[in-house]
Amino acid sequence: MLIINCPYCGPRDQSEFSNGGEAHVKRPDGSKEIGDREWGEYVFIRANPKGLFYERWVHTHGCRKWFNCVRDTSTDEILVTYKLDEKKPNLNNFKSVVKTPSGEPEVGSGNFTVEK
């Protein structure tokens, strides 16, 4: 279970939160002409990287506020949380802390217990 640092309430248990998928996906302005492809990408297409990922969470069983975070999807570590109106942090700031459990390769599940 993760500990998530709600920008409004402080560190709380993961069970109080819900995940809201990729962050910083801008909703196209509905009042303007939008092509099928552009709209379809907004509705259906989300990134799914292994590694650092901007992500939205909501403190469902708490303050009910939405916020953003940077999560490492390979370790589940949440590196930083920030309010919606704050600037998104540069991912390069976090490169140094990226590590995967058991030194697994960048691609694939690699469930190793012994150093390769």
Partner 1 sequence: MKSINLKDNQFIQFHQKISFKFDGVKYFGYKGDTIASALLRNNINLVGRSFKYHRPRGIYTCGIEEPNALVQIISEYSEPNTRATIKKIYEGMEIESQNRWPSLENDFGSINNLFSPIFTAGFYYKTFMGPHKKFWKNLYEPLIRRAAGLGKPPKDFKGISNHIHHNVDITIIGGGLNGLLAAKSFINSNYDVLLIDFEEQLGGIINNSNKISLIDNKEPKDWLKETIQEIEDSKNIKILKNTLVTTYNYINHLIAIEDRFVGSKPIEGKVNSTLHKIRTGHTILCNGHIERFLSFQNNDLPGIMLSSSFEKYMCRYGLAPSKEPVIFSNNSNSNSLVYCLIKAGLKPKAYIDSRSGEEIEPNLFDLIRKNDVPLYTNSQIKGAFGNKKIEKILVEDSSGALNEIKCDCLCLSGGINPDVHLFTQSKGLLDWDEKDLTYKPSKPFQPTITLGSASGQFNFDNLNSDINEKLKTFKVKKLDVKLELNTNTKYNIEKLWEVSPQKKSLWAKSFIDLQNDVTTKDIRQAITEGFDRIEHLKRYTTNSMGTDQGKISSINALGIVSDLLDKKVNEVGTTIYRPPYAPLSFSAIAGRNCYEFYDPERKSPIHSWHLKNGAIFEDVGQWKRPWYFQINKDESMHDAVQRESKNVRENAGILDGSTLGKIEIKGEDALEFMNLIYTNSFTKMKQGSARYALMLGEDGMVKDDGIICKISDQHFIATTTTGGAATVLGCMEEYAQTEWPNLKVFMNSITEQYATFNISGPKTREIMKKAFPNINFSNEEFPFMTFQFHEFNGIPIRILRASFTGELGYEIYIPSNSAPKIWDNIQSVGKEFCLAPYGTEAMHLLRAEKGYIIVGQDTDGSITPIDLGLSWMIGKSKKDFLGKRSLTRSDTIREDRKQLVGIIPSNKADKLEEGQHIILDKEIKSPVPMLGHITSCYYSSTLGHDFALAVIKNGHSMIGTKAYASTSSMSTTGVDIVKPVFYDEDNKRLVS
Chain positions contacting partner 1, by CB under 8 A: 1-3, 20, 27-31, 34, 36, 39-40, 42-44, 56, 58, 60, 64-66, 76, 84-85, 99, 101-103, 111-115
**Beta carbon of residue 77, minimum distance to partner 1 (angstroms, whole number):** 8
Output the CA torsion sign for 69, 9, 59, 30. Answer: negative
Nearer to partner 1, 2 or 91 (CB): 2
The backbone region for 24, taken as left when phi is positive above 0, alpha when psi lies in -120 to 50, beta otherwise, is left
Which is nearest to 49 in space by CA: 21, 27, 68, 15?
21
Nearer to partner 1, 41 or 93 (CB): 41
Nearer to partner 1, 42 or 92 (CB): 42
Residue 104, Cβ density class (10 Å: 0-12 exposed, 13-18 middle, ≥19 buried): middle
**Beta carbon of residue 40, minimum distance to partner 1 (angstroms, whole number):** 7
**Beta carbon of residue 114, minimum distance to partner 1 (angstroms, whole number):** 5
